[in-house]
Amino acid sequence: MALKTTYKDDLYMTVNGEWEQSAVIPDDKPATGGFTDLADGVEKKLMADFAAFRDGQEKAPNQYVQRAVDLYRVAGDYTRRDKEGITPLTPRLARIAALTSVDDLNGQAAEWDRNGFPLPFNIAVEPDMKDTANNVVYLYALPTILPDTTYYADDNPAKEQLLAAYREMATGLLRFTDLDAAAQAEMVEAALRFDATIAAHVKSNEDKADYPAMYNPTSRADVTAKMRPFAWDQYLQELLPSDPDQIIVTDPGFLDAFATIYNNDTFADFRAWAYVNELIGDSTYLSEELRQLAGTYRRKLTGLPALPNQDKSAYRIANSAFSEPVGIYYGRKYFGEEAKGDVIQLVQRMIATYKQRIADNPWMSQPTKDKAIVKLNTMVLKMAILTRLTPATTTIRSTPMPAFWKTCSILTGLQPPIPSRSWTSRLTGLSGECPAT
- Please indicate, yes or no, whether residues 240 and 196 belong to a single structural domain of this protein: yes
Structure confidence at residue 28 (pLDDT): 77
pLDDT at 219: 96
Alpha-carbon span 371 to 377, nearest angstrom: 10
Give the pLDDT confidence score for residue 404 in this predicted structure. 57
DSSP strand pairing (246-249 vs 122-128): unpaired
Show the low-confidence residues of the chain (pLDDT under 50).
Answer: 1, 399-402, 410-437
- Note whether 131 and 280 are same-domain residues: yes
Helix (H/G/I), strand (E/B), else coil: 196? helix
What pLDDT score was predicted for residue 1? Answer: 46
Residue 313 lies inside a defined structural domain of this protein: no
Supply the CATH number for residue 202's domain. Answer: 1.10.1380.10
Q: Are strands 216-219 and 246-249 parallel, antiparallel or unpaired?
A: antiparallel
Note the pLDDT of residue 431: 29
Distance CA 60, CA 66 (A): 5
- For residues 196 and 253, membership in a common domain is answered with yes
**Which pLDDT score is estimated for 396?**
59
What confidence score (pLDDT) does residue 420 get? Answer: 38
**Domain contains 24:** no
Any domain includes 347 = yes
Shared-domain flag, residues 264 and 327: no
Same domain, 296 and 348: no
What range defines the domain where residue 181 resides?
82-307
**Are residue 282 and residue 345 in the same domain, yes or no?**
no
Cα dist from 437 to 72, 232, 322, 397, 398, whole Å: 17, 35, 19, 9, 8
Q: Are 166 and 97 members of one domain?
A: yes
247 beta partners: 218
Point out the domain boundary residue: 248, 275, 307. Answer: 307
Task: Answer yes or no: do 288 and 378 share one domain.
Answer: no
Distance CA 185, CA 188 (A): 5
pLDDT of residue 430: 31
8 Å CB contact between 142 and 198: yes
Residue 364 lies in a domain: yes
Rounded CA-CA distance 140/231 in Å is 17
In a domain, 130, yes or no: yes
65 close to 341: Cβ distance less than 8 angstroms = no
In a domain, 437, yes or no: no
pLDDT of residue 258: 97
Do 208 and 142 share a domain, yes or no? Answer: yes
Number of domains in the chain: 2
171 and 291 share one domain = yes
* Residue 316 forms part of a structural domain: no
Helix (H) or strand (E) holding 199: helix 181-199
